[in-house]
Structure 1
Amino acid sequence: MMTLHPKIMDLTLDRVWRLLETLGHPERDLPPVIHLAGTNGKGSTQAMIRAGLQAAGKRVHAYTSPHLARFHERIRLAGDLITEDALSALLDECWDANDRQQITYFEITTVAALLAFARTPADYTLLEVGLGGRLDATNVIDRPALTVITPVSIDHQQYLGDTLAEIAGEKAGILKRGVPCVVGPQDDAALEVIEARAASLGTPLLAHGQHWHVWEERERLVYQDESGLLDLPLPNLIGAHQIQNAGAALAALRHLGLDDDACEAAVTRAEWPARLQRLRTGPLVDAAGRAELWLDGGHNPAAGIALAEALNRLPPRPLHLICGMLNTKDVTGYMRPLANVAQSLTAVSIPGEENTLPATDTAAAAEQVGLQAATADSVAQAVADIANQTPNARILICGSLYLAGHILRQNA
């Protein structure tokens, strides 16, 4: 398949539209679509919306990316992960229909997902943007039921622009005329762009801080909008940023008319691996001994801030990081907030990843922000070394979803 991939990644919908037309436009036959974009939090927000809908007895398709351990995680059909046989058949069908014309890996797999969703009865379809929004392969739905934009921050500048306003413009590309959009917390520069785009399209906004509010109070989550107040348990996904993600999910569910029980299920039943996930079983956990082992896939400065805040709220333990990152990321921007909560960082290269940042470069970036740093040949070696030196440590493996996926496979 990669032989048909354009040599330079150019964001365009032309290849997707061509293949969809050949396949009879399956994107026109989907159950009502909720389309999510944003830099951080869109996966967690989607997981909470899905949990709420399913608790209300709804059958839900879901498309997300990237996968962690197995590609099948990207596609859920009416709640269940797609099977190996079904996925293979769909990809073969899309490959034949594409007739060896140029197409990207993400584009053809997105079309395969849309084809599967069109053929399987369900009540809702959740589509998560892969990159940006305006020219993302998922942005082919003329009239979704709802769109959601989670917090926008600086990331993927080589494709989306160098400023927050430019990036927000790409995310706002999922807005559709007259279709309501739930907007999570935003910097002013991003919100101005989203509001201007919405005004030009006549798009009703349900914006954080204006139309809905969410906060933590006495170890409870409190959500308020014009329909009233919800007093709920804290999200089972850890971190103050998950309060905001839960707020966006609740705003979406309330707009869709779901009841309080569904809203509670959204925050208490959602599962989303590698978002400050405590690992409790497996060979790496055994190697850690009495040390805690955690995993997180955040990889940009905003994720670093959110992660540092969440770690600061956990019961005190000496925190040691094992970090591997891609060479396309703002490494020091990600690490700077973590330098205030961690005692050391052990850098690794991401196994099997062509764009990994060498461990020595990751360690140098850590030293630059004031973190004591070393390198290790593998995560397993790093875990064992830290556990031997600090038996009561909290060890966090972090820096990339690609590293997180490798860990979930290795520790299975």
Structure 2
Amino acid sequence: MMTLIRNAHIVTATQTFCGSMLTRNGIIIDLGEGAGAVIGTGIRAAQVGNVPVEDWGGDYLLPGLVELHTDNLEKHLMPRPKVNWPTLPAIMAHDAQIASAGITTVLDAISVGDIDSDSMRNDTLYACTQGLRHAANAGILRADHFLHMRLELAEEHLLDMFSPYLHDDRLRLVSLMDHTPGQRQWTDLAHYRTYVSGKRGWSEDKVEYMLERLLVRQQTYAASNRQSVVASCRSLARPVPLATHDDTTVAHVTEGVDDGVSISEFPTTLAAAHAAREQRLGIIMGAPNMVRGGSHSGNVSAAQLARADLLDVLSSDYVPASLLHAAFLLQEQGFSLPKAIATVSRNPAQMVGLQDRGEIATGLRADFVRVRLSQGIPVVLGVWKEGQRIA
């Protein structure tokens, strides 16, 4: 099946131009420049004479977005504290929200372990991952879903919980996390108290109890768990990228490099981001941070890192719609539009070894998004994966 799109503002990895794109059987086979162009070089007009033509009227044609770290599925699985929603309906609602945001490939960030003993995350781990597999096998998902296993290093039973996924063919990223209060993301305990009181509904007494308990857990399990996880990931025949999380100091980055990580997720300080760049780590920052103008935890802003050219990838984190919005906002920080869009498409795809997608280029998958600006905000009008419309 062939489709021709004309009169679109096409954003490739290096340029933006008004022109046309031809796809066949889910692959981009040609591009042409010029508002009136039927097709580019290499394809004769006669060969596309009977092909369906869509005139996009100058709307943007962007690559399908690639998301490496979203907690959005958890919000559907647990829509309220201690409320466990049926797994398949939660997955389908999450998938629909992802697709409507222009995301055609997503790494669902699945928590393995938690700092809160009352959390239901551990109870939903197996059902969630099995539910994702069932939905994919049944052909009812819109986006492509892979696994990003978020390992809470202070979790007592972490190794037993993670081991079933070590050889899972969906596993594309493993992040090493330690949310113990008093360090990394939660260096400022005042921000921590505000967050857990608001999101988790903890009383002051529970906050004090948890502060003491979590420190003991970290001292008991975190170091040995980290050592075992790193060794296991290094032993895999198929390389799975490792990421550090919430690096705050140069020492945090150095520790990650020694462990073989290739990604620094959400560095919390400018010093940590500079250290990550010096070590040639990919740097991921939160799109909500960019849209809101700062971190909800009081850490370094994504905009500040962008201005210093210390930002490679944006992640929607907890708001899927923030991904595209934040990419366009990067232009205010000095990014060209192709460079900005690459942070939500080409860069994340390459970061986890997905070489067949992530940009508008001949020979790659026809994953693309139709976007129009309204009051300066990008609005998704349509989403296609492998040439088939999914939203």
Question: Normalization by structure 1: what TM-score?
Answer: 0.28
Q: Which has the higher contact order (CA 8 A, sep 6+)?
A: 2
- Structure with the higher strand share, 1 or 2: 2
- Structure with the higher helix share, 1 or 2: 1
